[in-house]
Amino acid sequence: MEDGILREGLIRVLILNSDMKVNHISVAVSDFEKGVKTFKKLFSIEPEIVHFEERKLKIAIFHLENLLFELISPMEGEKTVSKFLEKRGDGIHHIALEVESVEEKRKEFEEKGFKVVHGPRRGVKSKNVIFLDPKTTGRVLIEIVEK
């Protein structure tokens, strides 16, 4: 019951806040090269490859018409995505929403009962990002990215 209420609340937040849009969907993959090959074939485009040393991640960014689709894979010593893959296997890791100001949205979300688990910190393509705790968003990891 509680998960349903949380999901309903999350859907209301997403729908009622027209100042947010989906920025990207991130999929964690254990085999980066295989994942890139699969999605290159699916999308028929070349990805932008980024080695995000700061977070110890390899990232393939597919620039689609309405959003970015990214594959993330841990490099040696990375903990968070590695743990995700170990526990759940390959799959959707998070959904990112774009906002004008991460700091303003952080305050707004916290007032509504959502908890920030990471950030603010620098993102791959954004100056500022935060992650909302999936325990407060119906088990969906949400990244908030600044334009």
Q: Concatenate the DSSP letters of all residues of 60-113 into one string.
A: EEEE-SSSEEEEEEEPTT--HHHHHHHHH-SEEEEEEEEES-HHHHHHHHHHTT
Q: Label residue 5 by pLDDT band (50, 70, 90).
A: low
What is the rounded (10 degree) CA torsion for 100, 70, 140, 80? -110
Is 60 exceeded by the pLDDT of residue 74?
yes
The CATH number linked to 106 is 3.10.180.10
Q: Label residue 8 by pLDDT band (50, 70, 90).
A: low
pLDDT for 1 equals 47
Please check whether residue 60 is in contact with residue 49, taking contact to mean a CB–CB distance below 8 angstroms: yes
Neighbours of 3 (CB within 10 A): 9
pLDDT for 19 equals 82
**What is the value of pTM for the model shown?**
0.84
**How many domains, the chain?**
1
Give me the mean pLDDT over the 83-106 stretch. Answer: 95
- 22-69 pLDDT, tens digit each: 999 999 999 999 999 999 999 999 999 999 999 999 999 999 998 999
Range of the domain at 21: 2-146
pLDDT for 141 equals 95
